[in-house]
Amino acid sequence: MKFFLFLLLPVFLFSAEYYGKVEPFKKYTITSKTSGKVVSVNDSIKGKIAGGEVIVQIDDEVSKVDYEVAKETYEIRKGQYNRIKNLRTKTKTEKDLEKINYLNGKKAYITAKDTYEAKILRAKDLYIYDILVEKGGYVNFGTPLFEAYDTSKSRITIYLTREDMEGIQDKIIIVNGKEGEYQIEQVLNVADKKFVSSYKLELVGPSVKRFSDVVKVEIKENEAE
């Protein structure tokens, strides 16, 4: 009877072990959306979580003036159009021309605003890993400015054999002896380009005090016979 009951209990029939590195949940490379001279670099924020501080600032003297002019012009044209759009003394052609001026002013204002705001790069709730430009340097559109990580969660990427990948959603994931901390985020059912006989599995779990540690990942099947 005892032997029969034992067979009914869940048992781990298969187990596979892999090793992976604990990485930040997301990695970002922030690039410039404008061009100009770098006038400020906040090196003191490197290695810390940003709280909304300016990380990199590009010369904004001209773009600030352009923004202020465009904003004022937009407000004037908006007011002019609102004043005449319902007047019976104005023809449809006059109203249409004022509307076009208003819309062109709005478009110019939005463009100038985007250009101005692109000169001041901030970050919040991101770990600033590295700043890639120096004060006094010149940047163009697309120039990498700084690298930042989302450390609110962690990620582990491993590459499984075809056998271990089969039925992976029903298997148990154990990381460094702890079950349930990491969940499957993404499963690629096409073999990896680099590891041609393996399949990429991404796990997401809680934030950790120290990233880049190598951990053991066990994949087990829990079946009852």
The radius of gyration of the chain's CA atoms, rounded to the nearest angstrom, is: 29
The domain 60-118: what is its CATH number? 1.10.287
Longest dimension (CA), the chain: 101
pLDDT at 189 (0 to 100): 74
DSSP β-ladder status, 214-223 and 11-31: antiparallel
The domain 6-57+121-223: what is its CATH number? 2.40.50.100
Which tens digit of pLDDT belongs to each residue from 192-216? Answer: 666 667 889 999 999 999 999 999 9
Mean pLDDT of the chain: 89
Mean pLDDT, residues 14-39: 93
Instruction: Write down the pTM of the prediction.
Output: 0.76
Which tens digit of pLDDT belongs to each residue from 177-190? Answer: 999 999 999 887 77
Which tens digit of pLDDT belongs to each residue from 65-94? Answer: 999 999 999 999 999 999 999 999 999 999
Helices (H), 129-225: 162-165
